[in-house]
């Protein structure tokens, strides 16, 4: 409430005001990136980031992600080409990308899924070899670092989501991080109707501006983000203590050199396909809300199923049918973590 008081006196509620400028600077410092453009939400951040490179043709991405990733590609008039995922962290399988590259390929859009970091070195090597753009969907990876480098520094651009369900939020909001000064101007025009002057509109842009209230929320939440992540780490640790050695369950192992934000706690059930659904139902019957995150695969969505064959990405297909993300937030009490795990173990 204190942070928004002066908004009433300035009457400046949107269109890149003082809160917007202050938050952008705070965010650059926290993420340790060179440049950042704030947007109304994470999806528009990805749409604008893709649009900024004026791409044509095919984009290689993952089918094991949220709908936004693929929608942003398609809404830019591009064709998604789906690469399977690996079985370790469920990120795009870099060993399978090169076989999918054709003369039509213009970019790769990998996802740092659950906050786990993609093989950025291998992806960078492929991008340079074939002259491709790399735009990372880092919606899950706020505050994550790789060998002390902020995750927003990799690729040609990275996007973040500040939705209310994320580790860090501005209620709704998003950002693009990058190192190219020219990109800064293009993103500004794209998010502000393509307006380049008082009487000049040179681009076909949209309205994707972050307002002053969102920026104020971001300024406030940045003050608490380290404590938020610390508390999440304790929840993550308790889950691992409970479930780490349970037969029939697979947990993601910590990545070398990665400082995690503990965004999600996915578990994958081995064995029968319907086991995940039985556990899901049992937890819901106990007023516990897990998520089948991500199910179904993008390629099985009604809007894409007739165009793509999900059997071509078998690891992703199998994982989607067996994955469950358990409740994870800073104020989740450890006794409730124990109760959730107790129900899972009793059914297994």
Cα dihedral across residues 61, 65, 68, 70: positive or negative:
positive
Q: What angle do CA 201, 206, 208 make, to 5 degrees?
A: 125
Find the DSSP H helices in 199-289: 212-222, 225-243, 275-285
Q: What residues does 321 pair with on adjacent strands?
A: none
Q: Any idea where the domains of the chain sit in the sequence? A: 5-222, 226-347
Residue 282: alpha-carbon gap to chain centroid: 28
The pLDDT assigned to 344 comes to 96
CB of 42 within 8 A of CB of 165?
no
Q: In angstroms, rounded to a whole number, what is the distance separating the alpha carbons of residues 270 and 248?
A: 5
User: For each of the chain's 348 residues, which pLDDT tens digit applies?
Assistant: 999 999 998 999 999 999 999 999 999 999 999 999 999 999 999 999 999 999 999 999 999 999 999 999 999 999 999 999 999 999 999 999 999 999 999 999 999 999 999 999 999 999 999 999 999 999 999 999 999 999 999 999 999 999 999 999 999 999 999 999 999 999 999 999 999 999 999 999 999 999 999 999 999 999 999 999 999 999 999 999 999 999 999 999 999 999 999 999 999 998 766 899 999 999 999 999 999 999 999 999 999 999 999 999 999 999 999 999 999 999 999 999 999 999 999 998
Nearest C-alpha neighbor of 267 from the set 276, 256, 278, 255:
276
Identify whether the C-beta of residue 23 lies closer than 8 Å to the C-beta of residue 211.
Answer: no
What pLDDT was estimated at residue 270? 87
Asked whether the beta carbons of 91 and 111 are under 8 A apart, the reply is: yes
In whole angstroms, what is the distance from residue 237 CA to residue 330 CA? 12
Q: Which residues contact 87 (CB under 8 A, 6 or more apart)?
A: 315, 319
Please give the pLDDT value at position 281: 97
How far is residue 291 from each of residues 48, 60, 98, 120, 346, measured CA to CA in Å?
Answer: 29, 26, 32, 28, 19
Residue-level pLDDT at 288: 98
CATH number of the 5-222 domain:
3.40.640.10
Tell me phi and psi for residue 236, to 5 degrees: -55, -45
DSSP letter at 54 equals: T
pTM: 0.97
Q: Which helix (H) or strand (E) holds 127?
A: helix 120-130
Residue of 137, 211, 143, 142 whose CA lies nearest to 172: 211
CB neighbour list of residue 131: distance below 8 Å, 6 or more residues apart? none
CATH number of 226-347: 3.90.1150.10
pLDDT recorded at residue 308: 98
């Amino acid at each position: 409430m204190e942070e928004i008081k002066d908004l009433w006196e300035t009457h400046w509620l949107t269109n890149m005001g003082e809160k917007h400028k202050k938050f952008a600077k705070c965010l650059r410092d926290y993420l340790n990136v060179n440049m950042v453009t704030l947007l109304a939400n994470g999806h528009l951040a990805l749409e604008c980031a893709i649009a900024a490179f004026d791409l044509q043709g095919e984009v290689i991405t993952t089918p094991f992600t949220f709908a936004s990733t693929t929608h942003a590609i398609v809404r830019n008039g591009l064709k998604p080409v789906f690469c399977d995922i690996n079985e370790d962290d469920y990120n795009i399988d870099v060993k399978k990308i090169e076989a999918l590259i054709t003369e039509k390929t213009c970019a790769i859009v990998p996802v740092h899924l659950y906050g786990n970091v993609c093989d950025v070195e291998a992806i960078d090597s492929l991008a340079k070899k074939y002259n491709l753009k790399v735009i990372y969907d880092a919606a899950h990876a706020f505050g994550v670092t790789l060998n002390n480098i902020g995750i927003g520094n990799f690729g040609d651009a990275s996007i973040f989501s500040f939705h209310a369900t994320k580790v860090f939020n501005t209620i709704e909001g998003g950002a693009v991080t990058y190192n190219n000064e020219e990109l800064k101007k293009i993103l500004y025009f794209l998010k502000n109707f393509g307006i380049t002057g008082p009487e000049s509109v040179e681009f076909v842009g949209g309205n994707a501006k972050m307002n002053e209230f969102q920026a104020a929320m971001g300024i406030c939440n940045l003050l608490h983000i380290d404590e938020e992540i610390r508390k999440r780490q304790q929840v993550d640790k308790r889950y691992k203590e409970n479930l780490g050695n349970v037969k029939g369950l697979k947990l993601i192992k910590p990545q070398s050199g990665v400082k995690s934000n503990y965004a999600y706690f996915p578990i994958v059930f081995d064995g029968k396909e319907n086991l995940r659904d039985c556990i899901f139902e049992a937890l819901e019957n106990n007023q516990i809300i897990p998520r089948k995150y991500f199910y179904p695969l993008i390629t099985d969505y009604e809007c894409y199923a007739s165009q793509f064959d999900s059997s071509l990405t078998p690891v992703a297909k199998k994982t989607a049918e067996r994955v469950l993300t358990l409740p994870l937030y800073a104020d989740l009490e450890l006794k409730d973590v124990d109760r959730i795990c107790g129900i899972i173990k009793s059914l297994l």
